[in-house]
Structure formats: structure tokens, C-alpha cells
Amino acid sequence: MWYRPAIPGKPTVLLVHGLTGTSRWWTPVIARLPEEVGIIAPDLRGRGQSWETPGPYDLSTIAGDLSHCLNHFEVPVVTLAGYSMGAWVATVYGSTRARRVKGIVMVDGGIRVDVPGGEKPEALIEEMFGPALDRLEMSFDSEEGYLDHWRRHPALSGRWSAPLDLVFGYDVELWRGRYKVRATREAILAGAGDFLFDEQTIKAVNEVIVPSRLIMVDHDLTDQRGGFLSEVAAEDAVSRNPNLTVQKLPDFNHFTVLLGEGASSVASAIVRML
């Protein structure tokens, strides 16, 4: 959990991390936000400090958890920013609780993902997110060993910076003499299943009535050209919701848009929504 109260009279932003991330994935963005702005960035259930929180792990339940956060900190209205899976959580929240949302920033998520037909959902999730699921079963001699695992990731290789030591170091904890990722397989499978296949989740973006911005990149989770989201899906979403605009960031991948220099553009988009 990351919490910083706003200076009296100033706005608060609620930051929602992605499928296998934690609140600390927002570190590069938070560093670029004005200091007077309030920050609420929870570890979603099944991940980070909330990794032992039991299910259900569907995105509607997680959206309800966000309301509990706002109530706890007595924040009536926020600007909402979601990354990857967090973008779908943001649209689910915004489509049902618009009175508490001033605006939404969706970072490489929140709209329909093009998936091949004829493949079973379970098999497709394993295919798309296999490395993330495999990582949950791994253990490491040290925190440094886990960081080295990420330093070799094709999306981050050659793009590492000191703040990422803090981002990814927060992922793991010592368990029986080894370091393991603080995330549950059930939470990952449920989240991916919702934003890939659940029609209510996929269509939530069409029901959002507050100003919203989708930030897209042109490289995917492994830094291959062709983004996680398609331009066709983005155009369809915009045609269905006049409150939605799209910002394209070339030469970033699904990870560097938040964890690299793309964080500056994400922070600027959030500030414009405050």
C-alpha cells in the first residue's frame, strides 16, 4: 500500500497496478507527480502485502475494494489511473461509481484484447502469461537474484534504472530461506480471465461517463512490435464512448510505458485529469 495525503484543497489520485504487479510499480510515475497531490496505491488482493487476502479475485470484487480504500482515507472523489489489468479495474469502477471519479487514465489496458478464436480460455491465458505464472513457482537465493531475473527480461534488458530495484524488490519476501514472489496463481488467472473473456468487464469502458484517456504503446510484453492492444479495438472503443480519447506513445513497450521514460507521459496525462 502506498498512501500520501493530499495538501488540503488539492486532489488525490488512485493508482491501480497490473496483473502481476504491486503498488510499487507506480514509483516512476509518483516521482513525477506534484508533491501536493494525494496518492492512494493499494496492493490488490492476491498480490504484494495483500497477497494472502482470500478471493474472490474477480475484477468487480477488486473494484469494490477500491471503494473501501477511499472510504478508509475519507476521500470522496479521485482521479483514477490503471495500468494493464488495473485499467480494466478502473473502467469497471468508473462505470458503476462515476460520482466518485473525476477522470480516468488507462495505461495500455481497459479495452477489448484481440484473442484468437477456437482456443480454450485456460490454454490462452497460459500462452499469454506463462512466464508470469512460472515466476510464481520460482524461488531465489536472494533479492538480488530476483532482480537479475527481471534485468534479463526482454522488455527491460538495457533499460534498467535504479528505481526498478525498489519496484521489483518489493515483489518478494523471504520464505523458508528462499525468496518467493508475493502473488497467488488464483488471482492472476482470475484477473486475466476477466479482462480477456468476461463481457461485462470488456464493455465497462463503453459505460464510463467521465473524461477518460487511453495511453497505448506499439511494443508488447516481450518488446516485439505490435502492442498489447490493437488500434482497431481502440477505434471501436472511441466510437462507442465520446468521453474517451487515445494517446499513442511510439517506441515504448508494455513495461517501459510505466517503468521507463514513458512514466513522464503517464504522469502528465494524470495531471491533466486532476
pLDDT of residue 118: 67
Dist CA 161 CA 165 (whole Å): 8
Q: Which residues of the chain have pLDDT under 50?
A: none
Dist CA 68 CA 258 (whole Å): 25
CATH numbers and ranges of domains, the chain: 2-116+183-273 (3.40.50.1820)
**How would DSSP label each residue in 48-78?**
GGGTTS-S---HHHHHHHHHHHHHHTT---E
pLDDT of residue 122: 87
pLDDT of residue 121: 86
Dist CA 77 CA 66 (whole Å): 12
Instruction: For residue range 141-183, list pLDDT tens digits in order.
Output: 999 999 999 999 999 999 999 999 999 999 999 999 999 999 9
C-alpha pair distances (Å), 89 with each of 33, 36, 178: 22, 25, 32
